[in-house]
Amino acid sequence: MIEVALVRDADSIRFTEERVRRIVQYVCRREKRMKADLSFVFIGDRKMKVLNKKYLNHDFQTDIMTFPMEPHGVNAEIYINVDQAKRQAKEYRKTIVNEMIRLIVHGTLHAMGYDDRKPVEKERMFARQERYVAKISLIVQ
């Protein structure tokens, strides 16, 4: 079973829990993962900067942070910075919906164990992510 929860700490975007669930289910099915328990938390710049400093010792903004809860399962808390997502959507000339889909897919892939720290891993993850985003954008809008 695929479980998805959504907590909104940033009210500046309309994105339903059902939409998040459909995105996660799509990725899980394509990755042949039938069990997942993911919690998404939509936050703003201020809270993301605090998390980034506390857990990664970085003093800057980021768009997403994924905290896996178990080493071999798809179980994680995923924090998405809605303020940063809006800036990125504008910068990349995408809709905010498209950018949120991208971040949800990205966090889901991280929860599954994909990594983007090394160039080869980043390339592999990005290609997979963008393939899913293109398909999801057609069916979830």
Here the CATH number for the domain that contains residue 27 is 3.40.390.30
Residue 12 pLDDT > 80: no
Domain residue limits at 24? 2-140
- Counted domains in the chain: 1
pLDDT over 80 at 4, yes or no:
yes
Tokens of 28: 């899980």
More confident residue, 39 or 71: 39
Strand partners, 43: 81
pLDDT of residue 49: 94
Q: What is the pLDDT of residues 50-81, one digit of tens each?
A: 999 999 888 888 999 999 887 777 999 999 99
Percent of the chain with pLDDT strictly greater than 70: 96
